[in-house]
Amino acid sequence: MRRVHRKRTIRLSFGVLFVFIAGAVSTCKAGARSESPLDRRVKNYSAKATDFIHALNLVSEQLGIRFGIEIDKLPATGAVSVYVAKGTVADVLGALMKYAPGYRWVHADGVIDVLPADGGSSLLGVQVVRFDVSNATPDQIRSTLMSLPEVKAWLVQNDMREHSFLQPFLSSSASGATSVSVHLSNVTVKTLLNLVIQQPGLHAWSFVQYGDRRQYLNFQIG
């Protein structure tokens, strides 16, 4: 059973799955059906931002959805304006994605993942045998993940290295005191991250490839 304790511990199995959305906790037993956050109704929803990344953060904060994003090429810059007179959260995301050609969104593990449309080889698909951290900050989670032998092997095979120093892409609400305990096995990197950011104080993750050969990886949790 995967349980979330006061110390914010994740346990993954076929038991009870706790999904945190907009600060509320909904409990879904395996096999039970629950309303998707994508079906939530919105009316006269409007969001304006200076670029797509800013707009994605804004939609996340306003609609209380958690997201992950993998960027292999930055979406075109320019003002973004989204308006949905009457519809759902899914309609808002559809309107937003018009500003990011070459990308798609999927709903997985209770999180909205924005991914390159070509679906090529990605670190997110790497299978992690075991991941254990206790009372870890976002930076410690990042460091531990990047030190896993499976992750290091993928980086070497793809002639990439992690170099996380770029200006943050996430409008992080996480404070330095935010810490979580994570104990997972036999999951992909994407599933691992999606489960981590469902913890209180966290709302997003990002992978950004950059460099003249896109040989560097900037990784953030916020």
Query: What pLDDT score does 172 carry?
Result: 53
Q: Percent helix, strand and coil across the chain, each rounded to 5? A: 25, 40, 40
Give per-10-residue mean pLDDT for the chain (222 aa): 41 31 31 67 95 93 94 83 96 96 93 90 94 93 95 95 70 60 95 93 90 88 88
Q: Do the Cβ atoms of 124 and 108 come closer than 8 Å?
A: no
Query: What pLDDT score does 32 carry?
Result: 39
Q: Token pair of 37, please?
A: 């956050």
Q: Is 167 helix (H, G, I), strand (E, B) or coil?
A: coil
Q: Tell me 14's DSSP state.
A: S
For residue 158, which phi and psi values (nearest 5 degrees)? Answer: -105, 15
Q: Token pair of 109, please?
A: 């593990």
pTM for the model stands at 0.79
Query: What pLDDT score does 35 carry?
Result: 64
Largest CA distance in the chain: 49
Q: Token pair of 61, please?
A: 């904060």
